[in-house]
Amino acid sequence: MRELAITAQQVQDLRRQTGAGMMDCKRALEATAGDLEKAAILLRKQGQARADARMARAASEGMVASYIHAGGRIGVLVEVNCETDFVARTPEFQELAKNIAMHIAAEQPRWVEASDIPEDVVAQEKEIYRALALKEGKPEPVVEKIIEGRMKKYCQETCLLQQAYVRDDQRTVGELVRDARAKLGENIVVRRFVRFQLGEG
């Protein structure tokens, strides 16, 4: 069986699409018999595996991105970290940080992720959901499941990484960050944010 020749143009096309290195692109195309789409998926899987392995590594570089909206009525600052200054300066990383800031302006999350929600807020929300479920006449064994479901929805509405991304509601902000980790090959963390709205006290 004759070996499939991978052209330089195929490698360039895949590199442009994925941002992966030349040799990684060539190997992925060889492994997928020159299928560009399958090669891109393979590179994403490999990139994600590398990024997952780096999750424990310190992300102390990065940037503070800003976004101003509605004629200066809404402003956001968000700190997004990565491992190296090299990645922090890439257009992909900077665009990610700007897009997250824009999302925060639009969707008004309160926390970065569910573990950031204060215990007293969690307890208060659960108590409200319990009272509502009991008022609706739900049996006690079902009440706990209802509370669990409503808390999950609460997190999806108020936690940045669990919110549906404003520019693509088929994926969450957390998935957006995960994809960036896979593409850039480094641990990327949304550290903190603050959102200002004119007139809010």
How many separate domains does the chain show?
Answer: 3
pLDDT band of 4, cuts 50, 70, 90: low
pLDDT for residue 11? 86
User: What tokens does 137 get?
Assistant: 């006449």
How far are the Cα atoms of 21, 54, 57, 167 from residue 64, in angstroms, in the given order? 28, 22, 20, 21
Distance CA 83, CA 144 (A): 41
Residues 82 and 64 sit within 8 Å (Cβ to Cβ): no
Any idea what the CATH number is for the domain that residue 134 is in?
1.10.286.20
My answer on whether 12 and 99 are in the same domain is no
**Within a domain: 2:** no
As beta bridge partners, residue 190 has 80
Q: DSSP letters along 5-65, please?
A: PPPHHHHHHHHHHH---HHHHHHHHHHTTT-HHHHHHHHHHHHHHHHHHTTTS---EEEEE
CA 53 to chain centre: 17
Closest CA to 74 of 108, 112, 113: 108
Q: Is the pLDDT of residue 166 over 80?
A: yes
Distance CA 117, CA 125 (A): 11
pLDDT tens digits for range 98-154: 999 999 999 999 999 999 999 999 999 999 999 998 888 888 888 889 999 999 999
What is the residue type of 15? R
How far are the Cα atoms of 43, 49, 121, 142, 155 from residue 126, in angstroms, in the given order? 42, 36, 9, 14, 12
**Within a domain: 91:** yes
Q: How many CB atoms lie within 10 A of CB 170?
A: 7
Q: How many CB atoms lie within 10 A of CB 100?
A: 26
My answer on whether 167 and 108 are in the same domain is yes
Q: What is the mean pLDDT of residues 12-26?
A: 77
My answer on whether 86 and 166 are in the same domain is yes
pLDDT tens digits for range 40-87: 888 877 775 565 655 566 778 999 999 999 889 999 999 999 999 999
Name the residue range of residue 140's domain. Answer: 118-158
